[in-house]
Homo-oligomer: A and B are copies of this chain.
Protein backbone atom coordinates (compact mmCIF):
# COMPACT_ATOMS: atom_id res chain seq x y z
CA UNK A 1 0.00 0.00 0.00
CA UNK A 2 3.07 2.26 0.23
CA UNK A 3 2.09 3.96 3.43
CA UNK A 4 4.54 6.33 5.05
CA UNK A 5 4.96 5.66 8.77
CA UNK A 6 5.06 8.41 11.37
CA UNK A 7 8.46 7.09 12.37
CA UNK A 8 9.70 7.68 8.82
CA UNK A 9 8.44 11.26 8.94
CA UNK A 10 10.07 12.10 12.28
CA UNK A 11 13.31 10.45 11.22
CA UNK A 12 13.67 12.41 8.01
CA UNK A 13 10.99 15.13 7.70
CA UNK A 14 12.72 16.91 4.80
CA UNK A 15 12.01 13.91 2.62
CA UNK A 16 8.26 14.43 2.99
CA UNK A 17 7.67 18.15 3.64
CA UNK A 18 5.27 19.66 1.09
CA UNK A 19 4.69 16.29 -0.49
CA UNK A 20 1.44 14.39 -0.86
CA UNK A 21 1.70 11.25 1.27
CA UNK A 22 -0.52 8.44 2.48
CA UNK A 23 -0.53 7.05 5.98
CA UNK A 24 -2.59 4.73 8.16
CA UNK A 25 -3.15 4.90 11.88
CA UNK A 26 -5.53 5.12 14.80
CA UNK A 27 -7.34 8.14 16.20
CA UNK A 28 -6.21 9.34 19.62
CA UNK A 29 -8.44 12.41 19.61
CA UNK A 30 -10.76 14.27 17.24
CA UNK A 31 -11.75 17.92 17.83
CA UNK A 32 -13.87 19.75 15.33
CA UNK A 33 -15.52 23.07 14.77
CA UNK A 34 -17.95 24.01 12.03
CA UNK A 35 -15.74 23.92 8.98
CA UNK A 36 -12.61 22.08 10.05
CA UNK A 37 -11.21 19.59 12.57
CA UNK A 38 -8.03 18.15 14.09
CA UNK A 39 -7.21 14.50 14.53
CA UNK A 40 -4.27 13.31 16.56
CA UNK A 41 -3.15 10.17 14.77
CA UNK A 42 -0.92 7.43 16.16
CA UNK A 43 0.32 4.65 13.94
CA UNK A 44 2.29 2.72 16.55
CA UNK A 45 5.64 3.29 14.87
CA UNK A 46 6.56 6.37 16.90
CA UNK A 47 5.82 7.64 20.37
CA UNK A 48 4.54 11.05 19.29
CA UNK A 49 1.29 11.52 17.39
CA UNK A 50 0.88 13.39 14.13
CA UNK A 51 -1.75 16.12 13.79
CA UNK A 52 -4.13 15.82 10.86
CA UNK A 53 -6.07 18.91 9.82
CA UNK A 54 -9.23 18.40 7.78
CA UNK A 55 -11.72 20.78 6.22
CA UNK A 56 -15.28 20.76 5.01
CA UNK A 57 -14.08 20.28 1.46
CA UNK A 58 -13.84 16.56 2.26
CA UNK A 59 -16.70 14.55 0.75
CA UNK A 60 -17.17 12.73 4.01
CA UNK A 61 -16.56 15.74 6.30
CA UNK A 62 -19.63 15.05 8.45
CA UNK A 63 -18.68 11.39 8.91
CA UNK A 64 -15.10 12.25 9.78
CA UNK A 65 -16.28 14.74 12.43
CA UNK A 66 -18.07 11.87 14.17
CA UNK A 67 -15.10 9.51 14.25
CA UNK A 68 -14.43 8.04 17.70
CA UNK A 69 -11.20 7.54 19.54
CA UNK A 70 -9.66 4.25 18.44
CA UNK A 71 -10.92 4.25 14.85
CA UNK A 72 -8.54 3.27 12.04
CA UNK A 73 -8.00 5.72 9.19
CA UNK A 74 -6.09 5.85 5.94
CA UNK A 75 -5.24 9.44 5.15
CA UNK A 76 -3.94 11.19 2.07
CA UNK A 77 -2.56 14.66 2.45
CA UNK A 78 0.33 17.07 2.34
CA UNK A 79 2.89 17.32 5.13
CA UNK A 80 3.27 20.97 6.10
CA UNK A 81 5.81 22.58 8.40
CA UNK A 82 4.25 24.44 11.33
CA UNK A 83 7.10 26.32 12.97
CA UNK A 84 4.73 28.35 15.19
CA UNK A 85 2.84 25.38 16.60
CA UNK A 86 3.54 22.78 19.28
CA UNK A 87 4.02 20.13 16.61
CA UNK A 88 6.81 20.66 14.09
CA UNK A 89 4.51 19.64 11.22
CA UNK A 90 1.01 18.50 10.39
CA UNK A 91 -0.89 16.82 7.60
CA UNK A 92 -3.39 18.82 5.54
CA UNK A 93 -5.77 16.01 4.63
CA UNK A 94 -7.14 15.77 1.11
CA UNK A 95 -8.79 12.40 1.70
CA UNK A 96 -9.70 10.48 4.86
CA UNK A 97 -10.77 6.92 4.43
CA UNK A 98 -12.44 5.29 7.42
CA UNK A 99 -10.80 1.88 7.53
CA UNK A 100 -12.49 0.71 10.70
CA UNK A 101 -14.77 2.55 13.12
CA UNK A 102 -14.44 2.24 16.86
CA UNK A 103 -17.51 1.19 18.81
CA UNK A 104 -18.68 3.77 21.37
CA UNK A 105 -17.84 1.47 24.29
CA UNK A 106 -14.10 1.56 23.40
CA UNK A 107 -12.45 1.19 26.80
CA UNK A 108 -9.54 3.53 26.09
CA UNK A 109 -11.15 6.94 26.19
CA UNK A 110 -8.96 9.99 26.69
CA UNK A 111 -8.84 9.89 30.51
CA UNK A 112 -5.99 8.25 32.35
CA UNK A 113 -6.44 4.59 33.31
CA UNK A 114 -4.78 2.70 36.14
CA UNK A 115 -2.22 0.03 35.31
CA UNK A 116 -4.42 -2.44 37.21
CA UNK A 117 -7.39 -1.73 34.96
CA UNK A 118 -5.23 -1.93 31.85
CA UNK A 119 -4.04 -5.39 32.89
CA UNK A 120 -7.61 -6.58 32.46
CA UNK A 121 -7.51 -5.62 28.77
CA UNK A 122 -4.12 -6.92 27.73
CA UNK A 123 -5.23 -7.00 24.09
CA UNK A 124 -5.89 -3.25 24.05
CA UNK A 125 -3.40 -1.78 26.51
CA UNK A 126 -0.53 -1.69 23.95
CA UNK A 127 -2.48 1.22 22.41
CA UNK A 128 -1.83 3.48 25.43
CA UNK A 129 1.19 5.78 25.79
CA UNK A 130 2.57 3.83 28.73
CA UNK A 131 2.48 0.47 27.02
CA UNK A 132 3.59 1.86 23.67
CA UNK A 133 6.67 3.00 25.54
CA UNK A 134 7.12 -0.18 27.60
CA UNK A 135 6.83 -2.64 24.75
CA UNK A 136 8.90 -0.59 22.33
CA UNK A 137 11.67 -0.38 24.91
CA UNK A 138 11.28 -4.10 25.63
CA UNK A 139 11.79 -4.79 21.94
CA UNK A 140 14.80 -2.48 21.77
CA UNK A 141 16.41 -4.14 24.80
CA UNK A 142 15.99 -7.54 23.16
CA UNK A 143 17.68 -6.29 20.02
CA UNK A 144 20.46 -4.64 22.01
CA UNK A 145 21.16 -7.96 23.71
CA UNK A 146 21.33 -9.85 20.43
CA UNK A 147 23.57 -7.15 18.95
CA UNK A 148 25.88 -7.13 21.95
CA UNK A 149 26.52 -10.85 21.78
CA UNK A 150 26.59 -11.04 18.00
CA UNK A 151 29.24 -8.30 17.80
CA UNK A 152 31.37 -10.38 20.18
CA UNK A 153 30.97 -13.57 18.16
CA UNK A 154 28.76 -15.37 20.66
CA UNK A 155 26.61 -18.16 19.20
CA UNK A 156 22.89 -17.90 19.98
CA UNK A 157 21.61 -21.31 21.14
CA UNK A 158 17.97 -22.31 21.48
CA UNK A 159 18.10 -24.57 24.51
CA UNK A 160 15.05 -26.78 24.91
CA UNK A 161 11.81 -25.69 26.60
CA UNK A 162 10.53 -29.20 27.29
CA UNK A 163 13.01 -31.03 29.47
CA UNK A 164 13.43 -34.38 31.16
CA UNK A 165 15.57 -32.97 33.94
CA UNK A 166 15.59 -30.23 36.54
CA UNK A 167 18.49 -27.92 35.76
CA UNK A 168 19.10 -26.66 39.27
CA UNK A 169 17.92 -29.57 41.33
CA UNK A 170 15.45 -27.05 42.70
CA UNK A 171 12.58 -24.82 41.62
CA UNK A 172 9.03 -26.03 41.15
CA UNK A 173 8.36 -27.06 37.58
CA UNK A 174 5.30 -27.25 35.37
CA UNK A 175 4.67 -30.71 33.99
CA UNK A 176 4.23 -31.18 30.26
CA UNK A 177 2.17 -34.12 29.10
CA UNK A 178 0.10 -35.43 26.23
CA UNK A 179 -1.65 -37.92 28.52
CA UNK A 180 -5.40 -37.63 29.04
CA UNK A 181 -5.63 -35.95 32.46
CA UNK A 182 -9.11 -37.37 32.88
CA UNK A 183 -7.75 -40.92 32.58
CA UNK A 184 -4.09 -41.01 33.56
CA UNK A 185 -2.71 -44.44 32.63
CA UNK A 186 -1.15 -46.28 35.56
CA UNK A 187 1.37 -49.09 35.77
CA UNK A 188 0.60 -52.33 37.62
CA UNK A 189 2.02 -50.89 40.83
CA UNK A 190 -0.21 -47.85 40.61
CA UNK A 191 2.24 -45.20 39.39
CA UNK A 192 1.70 -42.90 36.43
CA UNK A 193 2.73 -44.83 33.32
CA UNK A 194 4.94 -42.26 31.64
CA UNK A 195 5.98 -44.84 29.06
CA UNK A 196 2.63 -44.08 27.45
CA UNK A 197 3.32 -40.34 27.34
CA UNK A 198 4.55 -38.51 24.23
CA UNK A 199 8.23 -38.71 25.13
CA UNK A 200 7.94 -42.05 26.97
CA UNK A 201 9.11 -40.28 30.10
CA UNK A 202 8.17 -37.60 32.59
CA UNK A 203 8.79 -34.09 31.21
CA UNK A 204 8.58 -30.51 32.46
CA UNK A 205 9.04 -26.92 31.37
CA UNK A 206 12.62 -25.74 31.70
CA UNK A 207 13.72 -23.54 34.58
CA UNK A 208 17.05 -22.70 32.93
CA UNK A 209 18.95 -23.46 29.75
CA UNK A 210 22.30 -23.31 31.48
CA UNK A 211 23.33 -26.96 31.57
CA UNK A 212 22.46 -27.36 27.90
CA UNK A 213 24.17 -24.06 27.19
CA UNK A 214 27.38 -25.33 28.77
CA UNK A 215 27.55 -28.20 26.29
CA UNK A 216 27.60 -25.61 23.51
CA UNK A 217 30.10 -23.36 25.27
CA UNK A 218 32.49 -26.33 25.37
CA UNK A 219 32.23 -26.43 21.58
CA UNK A 220 31.82 -22.78 20.53
CA UNK A 221 33.64 -21.07 23.43
CA UNK A 222 31.15 -18.20 23.72
CA UNK A 223 27.43 -18.78 23.51
CA UNK A 224 24.21 -17.31 24.86
CA UNK A 225 20.62 -18.38 25.19
CA UNK A 226 17.60 -16.08 25.07
CA UNK A 227 14.35 -17.88 25.67
CA UNK A 228 11.41 -18.44 27.96
CA UNK A 229 11.80 -20.14 31.34
CA UNK A 230 9.19 -21.18 33.87
CA UNK A 231 8.51 -21.47 37.60
CA UNK A 232 5.43 -23.08 39.08
CA UNK A 233 6.01 -21.20 42.31
CA UNK A 234 3.09 -19.86 44.26
CA UNK A 235 4.64 -16.36 44.63
CA UNK A 236 2.13 -13.66 43.96
CA UNK A 237 4.53 -10.71 44.07
CA UNK A 238 5.27 -7.77 41.81
CA UNK A 239 8.57 -9.39 40.80
CA UNK A 240 7.57 -12.97 39.99
CA UNK A 241 5.90 -14.46 36.94
CA UNK A 242 5.35 -18.10 36.05
CA UNK A 243 6.68 -17.50 32.53
CA UNK A 244 9.53 -15.10 31.85
CA UNK A 245 12.45 -14.73 29.47
CA UNK A 246 16.05 -15.23 30.37
CA UNK A 247 19.40 -14.55 28.77
CA UNK A 248 22.14 -16.99 29.71
CA UNK A 249 25.62 -16.45 28.28
CA UNK A 250 28.25 -19.10 28.89
CA UNK A 251 31.95 -18.65 28.18
CA UNK A 252 34.69 -21.26 28.04
CA UNK A 253 38.20 -20.26 29.13
CA UNK A 254 36.62 -17.59 31.33
CA UNK A 255 36.68 -17.08 35.09
CA UNK A 256 34.56 -15.10 37.53
CA UNK A 257 36.27 -11.80 36.69
CA UNK A 258 35.67 -12.28 32.95
CA UNK A 259 32.08 -13.09 33.85
CA UNK A 260 31.58 -9.85 35.78
CA UNK A 261 33.29 -7.85 33.04
CA UNK A 262 30.94 -9.19 30.37
CA UNK A 263 27.86 -8.69 32.56
CA UNK A 264 28.83 -5.08 33.27
CA UNK A 265 29.62 -4.36 29.63
CA UNK A 266 26.30 -5.89 28.60
CA UNK A 267 24.19 -3.82 31.00
CA UNK A 268 25.96 -0.62 29.97
CA UNK A 269 25.54 -1.50 26.30
CA UNK A 270 21.80 -2.03 26.78
CA UNK A 271 21.33 1.24 28.66
CA UNK A 272 23.29 3.18 26.06
CA UNK A 273 21.36 1.59 23.21
CA UNK A 274 17.96 2.36 24.73
CA UNK A 275 18.83 5.95 25.66
CA UNK A 276 19.95 6.51 22.07
CA UNK A 277 17.06 4.73 20.37
CA UNK A 278 14.08 5.60 22.55
CA UNK A 279 14.61 9.16 23.83
CA UNK A 280 10.88 10.05 23.86
CA UNK A 281 9.95 6.86 25.67
CA UNK A 282 12.68 7.31 28.28
CA UNK A 283 11.67 10.92 28.85
CA UNK A 284 8.09 9.73 29.36
CA UNK A 285 9.15 7.16 31.97
CA UNK A 286 11.25 9.76 33.72
CA UNK A 287 8.31 12.15 33.93
CA UNK A 288 5.38 9.86 34.61
CA UNK A 289 6.66 6.56 35.98
CA UNK A 290 9.90 7.01 37.88
CA UNK A 291 11.33 10.48 38.45
CA UNK A 292 15.10 10.24 38.60
CA UNK A 293 15.27 7.29 36.21
CA UNK A 294 17.39 9.06 33.60
CA UNK A 295 19.90 10.38 36.12
CA UNK A 296 20.24 6.94 37.63
CA UNK A 297 20.83 5.22 34.31
CA UNK A 298 23.27 7.86 33.10
CA UNK A 299 25.14 7.53 36.37
CA UNK A 300 25.49 3.79 35.72
CA UNK A 301 27.09 4.46 32.34
CA UNK A 302 29.69 6.70 33.95
CA UNK A 303 30.66 4.51 36.90
CA UNK A 304 32.32 1.18 37.49
CA UNK A 305 30.08 -1.35 39.17
CA UNK A 306 30.96 -2.13 42.78
CA UNK A 307 32.51 -5.53 43.48
CA UNK A 308 32.42 -7.02 46.95
CA UNK A 309 32.54 -10.49 48.43
CA UNK A 310 29.55 -11.95 50.22
CA UNK A 311 31.60 -12.08 53.43
CA UNK A 312 32.41 -8.36 53.20
CA UNK A 313 28.82 -7.56 52.27
CA UNK A 314 27.52 -9.41 55.32
CA UNK A 315 29.92 -7.49 57.54
CA UNK A 316 28.62 -4.20 56.12
CA UNK A 317 24.96 -5.22 56.36
CA UNK A 318 25.21 -6.55 59.92
CA UNK A 319 25.85 -2.99 61.07
CA UNK A 320 22.37 -2.09 59.79
CA UNK A 321 20.47 -5.12 61.08
CA UNK A 322 18.09 -2.74 62.85
CA UNK A 323 16.72 -1.70 59.46
CA UNK A 324 15.92 -5.23 58.32
CA UNK A 325 13.00 -7.52 58.84
CA UNK A 326 15.32 -10.51 58.36
CA UNK A 327 18.60 -10.08 60.26
CA UNK A 328 21.78 -10.75 58.35
CA UNK A 329 24.48 -13.15 59.42
CA UNK A 330 27.12 -15.16 57.58
CA UNK A 331 25.53 -18.14 55.91
CA UNK A 332 22.11 -16.62 55.32
CA UNK A 333 20.74 -15.98 51.87
CA UNK A 334 20.44 -12.28 51.09
CA UNK A 335 16.84 -11.06 50.88
CA UNK A 336 15.64 -8.35 48.53
CA UNK A 337 15.72 -5.84 51.41
CA UNK A 338 19.44 -6.57 51.95
CA UNK A 339 20.25 -6.52 48.27
CA UNK A 340 18.51 -3.20 47.79
CA UNK A 341 20.20 -1.71 50.88
CA UNK A 342 23.59 -2.66 49.50
CA UNK A 343 23.03 -1.25 46.04
CA UNK A 344 20.82 1.73 46.95
CA UNK A 345 22.22 2.96 50.28
CA UNK A 346 25.78 1.71 50.47
CA UNK A 347 27.02 1.65 46.88
CA UNK A 348 24.41 3.89 45.20
CA UNK A 349 25.11 2.02 41.94
CA UNK A 350 25.09 -1.56 40.65
CA UNK A 351 27.25 -3.94 42.64
CA UNK A 352 28.47 -7.50 42.21
CA UNK A 353 28.44 -9.65 45.32
CA UNK A 354 30.72 -12.65 44.93
CA UNK A 355 31.80 -15.86 46.63
CA UNK A 356 28.67 -16.97 48.47
CA UNK A 357 28.53 -19.88 50.94
CA UNK A 358 28.26 -23.07 48.93
CA UNK A 359 25.20 -24.26 50.87
CA UNK A 360 22.97 -21.48 49.56
CA UNK A 361 24.08 -21.83 45.94
CA UNK A 362 23.60 -24.37 43.17
CA UNK A 363 25.55 -27.61 42.84
CA UNK A 364 27.41 -26.61 39.68
CA UNK A 365 29.26 -23.62 41.09
CA UNK A 366 33.02 -23.84 41.41
CA UNK A 367 34.24 -24.56 44.93
CA UNK A 368 36.72 -21.95 46.15
CA UNK A 369 40.01 -23.00 47.81
CA UNK A 370 38.45 -22.16 51.23
CA UNK A 371 36.09 -25.15 50.71
CA UNK A 372 33.29 -23.02 52.17
CA UNK A 373 32.36 -20.63 49.40
CA UNK A 374 31.76 -20.92 45.68
CA UNK A 375 32.78 -18.64 42.81
CA UNK A 376 29.28 -17.16 42.47
CA UNK A 377 28.30 -13.62 41.57
CA UNK A 378 25.02 -11.75 41.85
CA UNK A 379 24.59 -8.37 40.26
CA UNK A 380 22.34 -6.09 42.31
CA UNK A 381 20.85 -2.89 40.95
CA UNK A 382 18.95 -0.02 42.60
CA UNK A 383 15.18 -0.37 42.55
CA UNK A 384 15.23 -4.07 41.73
CA UNK A 385 17.79 -6.02 43.71
CA UNK A 386 19.17 -9.05 41.92
CA UNK A 387 19.08 -8.70 38.17
CA UNK A 388 21.85 -11.16 37.28
CA UNK A 389 23.00 -14.35 38.94
CA UNK A 390 26.01 -16.29 37.74
CA UNK A 391 29.13 -18.21 38.59
CA UNK A 392 32.25 -19.87 37.44
CA UNK A 393 31.28 -23.52 36.99
CA UNK A 394 32.87 -26.48 38.70
CA UNK A 395 35.19 -27.87 36.02
CA UNK A 396 36.73 -30.67 38.08
CA UNK A 397 35.08 -34.01 37.36
CA UNK A 398 35.59 -35.48 40.82
CA UNK A 399 34.54 -32.41 42.77
CA UNK A 400 31.40 -32.08 40.68
CA UNK A 401 30.49 -35.74 41.04
CA UNK A 402 31.04 -35.52 44.78
CA UNK A 403 28.74 -32.50 45.06
CA UNK A 404 25.99 -34.18 43.01
CA UNK A 405 26.19 -37.21 45.28
CA UNK A 406 26.33 -35.12 48.48
CA UNK A 407 23.09 -33.44 47.49
CA UNK A 408 21.42 -36.77 46.80
CA UNK A 409 20.79 -35.90 43.15
CA UNK A 410 20.27 -38.58 40.51
CA UNK A 411 23.74 -38.94 38.95
CA UNK A 412 22.38 -40.67 35.84
CA UNK A 413 20.60 -37.44 34.82
CA UNK A 414 23.91 -35.58 34.83
CA UNK A 415 26.10 -37.93 32.83
CA UNK A 416 26.14 -35.57 29.86
CA UNK A 417 27.13 -32.77 32.19
CA UNK A 418 29.91 -34.78 33.79
CA UNK A 419 31.15 -35.72 30.30
CA UNK A 420 32.00 -32.04 29.75
CA UNK A 421 34.52 -32.43 32.61
CA UNK A 422 35.83 -35.69 31.20
CA UNK A 423 36.54 -34.65 27.63
CA UNK A 424 38.50 -31.41 27.40
CA UNK A 425 37.25 -29.66 30.51
CA UNK A 426 38.06 -25.98 30.65
CA UNK A 427 37.39 -23.27 33.18
CA UNK A 428 34.14 -21.62 32.22
CA UNK A 429 31.60 -19.21 33.59
CA UNK A 430 28.22 -17.76 32.81
CA UNK A 431 25.23 -15.95 34.17
CA UNK A 432 21.50 -15.49 33.83
CA UNK A 433 19.86 -12.13 33.22
CA UNK A 434 16.16 -11.99 33.97
CA UNK A 435 14.86 -10.18 30.93
CA UNK A 436 11.75 -8.71 32.58
CA UNK A 437 13.76 -7.44 35.53
CA UNK A 438 16.04 -5.76 33.03
CA UNK A 439 13.03 -4.11 31.35
CA UNK A 440 11.74 -3.01 34.77
CA UNK A 441 15.16 -1.58 35.59
CA UNK A 442 15.29 0.47 32.40
CA UNK A 443 11.71 1.72 32.45
CA UNK A 444 11.09 2.21 36.17
CA UNK A 445 7.96 0.05 35.89
CA UNK A 446 7.54 -1.64 39.27
CA UNK A 447 5.28 -4.60 38.49
CA UNK A 448 6.48 -7.44 36.28
CA UNK A 449 2.89 -7.80 34.95
CA UNK A 450 3.33 -4.46 33.21
CA UNK A 451 6.45 -5.39 31.23
CA UNK A 452 5.16 -8.77 30.03
CA UNK A 453 2.95 -8.62 26.92
CA UNK A 454 0.65 -11.34 28.33
CA UNK A 455 1.65 -12.07 31.94
CA UNK A 456 1.24 -15.56 33.39
CA UNK A 457 1.01 -15.50 37.16
CA UNK A 458 -0.68 -17.55 39.87
CA UNK A 459 -4.33 -17.88 38.89
CA UNK A 460 -3.94 -15.75 35.78
CA UNK A 461 -3.49 -16.90 32.19
CA UNK A 462 -5.63 -14.64 30.02
CA UNK A 463 -5.57 -14.61 26.24
Contact = CB atoms under 8 A, between A and B. Distances in A.
A3 B253 contact: yes
Interface stretch (A78-86, A312-320, A415-423): A415-423
A427 interface: yes
A286 interface: no
A445 interface: no
B426 A99 contact: yes
A17 B25 CA distance: 57
A310 to B, nearest CB: 23
Nearest to A42: B219
A26 interface: yes
A390 to B, nearest CB: 16
A453 B45 contact: no
A426 B3 CA distance: 13
A243 B220 CA distance: 23
Interface stretch (A160-168, A344-352, A359-367): A160-168
Interface in A295-340: none
Contacts of A222: 44-45
Nearest to A127: B219
Given A45-B222, A179-B181, A181-B179, A24 B252 contact: yes
Contacts of A427: 99
Interface string A8-30: 00000000000000001111000
Interface stretch (A142-150, A369-377, A380-388): A142-150
A228 B243 CA distance: 13
Given A135-B157, A161-B228, A424 B216 contact: no
Interface residues of A, number: 109
Interface stretch (A50-58, A67-75, A264-272, A403-411): A67-75
A454 interface: yes
A462 to B, nearest CB: 7
Nearest to A435: B158
A9 to B, nearest CB: 12
A126 interface: yes
A174 interface: yes
A375 to B, nearest CB: 14
Interface stretch (A88-96, A100-108, A111-119): A100-108
A191 interface: yes
A463 B70 contact: no
A459 B153 CA distance: 35
Contact of A422 (B103, B158, B191, B420): B103
Contacts of A178: 172, 174-175, 232
A166 to B, nearest CB: 13
Contacts of A434: none
Contacts of A200: 459
Contacts of A463: 160, 164-165, 211-212, 215, 416
Nearest to A99: B426
Given A24-B253, A212-B463, 9 more contacts: A44-B155, A100-B421, A123-B420, A143-B146, A143-B150, A158-B245, A161-B243, A162-B243, A203-B461
Contacts of A63: none
A136 B221 CA distance: 12
A220 B126 contact: yes
A44 B123 contact: no
A143 B126 contact: no
A182 interface: yes
B424 A44 contact: no
